[in-house]
Amino acid sequence: GAGVSQSPRYKVAKRGQDVALRCDPISGHVSLFWYQQALGQGPEFLTYFQNEAQLDKSGLPSDRFFAERPEGSVSTLKIQRTQQEDSAVYLCASSSSGLGPTDTQYFGPGTRLTVL
């Protein structure tokens, strides 16, 4: 497909487990963003990549959260030792450059993480 895809769509983890969430951006898109959306809230920025470079990780809530995009396309968000407060929908978005206000971010469907 031509859009942003994310896998898995749903993930249930026991507290303390590590999880890895995958994002496939639109082909050729330079910028990639991760957001966390808690129930009843809007998306909250986690981190941003331009190609393989992680330019902003100010939104990552703790050092248990780690994101990578080693080849500048697919990205993985990893959460170590998951806690119940990590339960949320994790959204990935990509844009062609991400540098200008008119550069639209296209969102994937999200991964719903539930930590028991």
Partner 1 sequence: DQQVKQNSPSLSVQEGRISILNCDYTNSMFDYFLWYKKYPAEGPTFLISISSIKDKNEDGRFTVFLNKSAKHLSLHIVPSQPGDSAVYFCAASAGGGNNDMRFGAGTRLTVKP
- Which of 34, 98, 113, 115 lies at the binding interface for partner 1 (CB under 8 A)? 98
Tell me: does residue 22 bind partner 1 (CB under 8 A): no
Tell me: does residue 60 bind partner 1 (CB under 8 A): no
Supply φ then ψ for residue 22, to 5 degrees.
-110, 145
By beta-carbon proximity to partner 1, the closer residue of 81 and 99 is 99
Spatial distance between the Cα atoms of 15 and 35, rounded to a whole number of angstroms: 21
- Which of 12, 53, 99, 116 lies at the binding interface for partner 1 (CB under 8 A)? 99
Tell me: does residue 106 bind partner 1 (CB under 8 A): yes
Footprint of partner 1 on this chain (CB under 8 A)? Answer: 4, 31, 33, 35, 40-45, 48, 55-56, 58-59, 91, 93, 95, 98-110
